[in-house]
Structures are given as C-alpha cells and as structure tokens.
Amino acid sequence: MSFSRPTLAELVQRTRNDTLSRLSTDEALRRADAEVYARVFSGVAPLPQAFGAQAALVHADGNSPELADLVRELAQRTATGYLFGGLASSRLTAPQFALGANGSQPGQGPAGG
C-alpha cells in the first residue's frame, strides 16, 4: 500500500487551517494564534530565543534512549507544558527530520542536516 507524504509546507498549512477552524470567533485572535501554532521548528532551524511557544507539535523515534528527557525538556520550554504529536514505530529504521528551505519560515536562516 502506498501513502502520499505531504511536504512540510503542506503540514504547516494543514495545522494552520485546522487551528483556525477551532479557535475562538474573534477574527484577529484566530489569525494571530494560528500563525503561532503553525510555526515549525527543530534543532536544525531553531526559533529565535525570545519566541514563547504555548504548545509544541512533536514527532520522535520511540527507540531514542534519551526520549523521556527530551520530551520533559521540550514541555518545560512551552508556556503550558502541552505537547502533542506521535512516535514513529517500525521494524526497520524510522527516520525523523525537519528541514526548512532558506527563507521559508520568517526569521530563520538556512537549514542543514
């Protein structure tokens, strides 16, 4: 069975649209919150130090020995401690990556990895 893999930009847009459909009815607040929730970051292309995340979408390899510590640390970096996402599981390898193209996310420089 074959599955189509969405691009990072498509995932960000889906997150933004989903958030917009569920937030309060105040239009300005809905737009502002959706932009914050739709940002994607990783260790390769971190957000600016002053950025204060309310929550984080997290995906990880469940076989990572340091996973519990990383999840705990990431939760502490959010204002609410709220993380959501999933763990990869596979009999073979389960690669995880998040790279942004230069300029694809406002305020981020080139990504590598």
Dihedral (Cα; 78, 51, 98, 32), 10-degree rounding? 90
Domain ranges, residue 33: 7-40
Mean pLDDT for 12-36 is: 63
| 22 domain residue, yes or no | yes
- Tell me the average pLDDT of the chain: 68
Total tally of structural domains belonging to the chain = 2
52 to each of 1, 5, 11, 76, 96, how far by Cα in Å?
40, 29, 21, 11, 24
Whether 107 is in a domain gets the answer no
Q: Which helix or strand (DSSP H or E) is residue 59 part of?
A: strand 55-61
Answer whether residue 111 is part of any domain.
Answer: no
Q: Record the pTM.
A: 0.42
Quick check: is 94 in a domain? yes
19 and 60 share one domain: no
Residues 32 and 56 in one domain: no
- Whether residue 45 lies inside any domain: the answer is no
Q: Looking at the domain assignment, is residue 84 inside a domain?
A: yes
Residue 102 has pLDDT above 60, yes or no: no
Q: What is the mean pLDDT of residues 19-42?
A: 57
For residue 28, being part of any structural domain is answered with yes
Residues 80 and 55 both lie in one domain? yes
Do 31 and 57 belong to one domain? no
What is the distance between the alpha carbons of residues 81 and 13, in angstroms, rounded to a whole number? 24
pLDDT at 63: 77
The confidence score (pLDDT) of residue 23 equals 61
pLDDT of residue 105: 47
Q: Are residues 58 and 92 in the same domain?
A: yes
Q: Are residues 62 and 25 in the same domain?
A: no
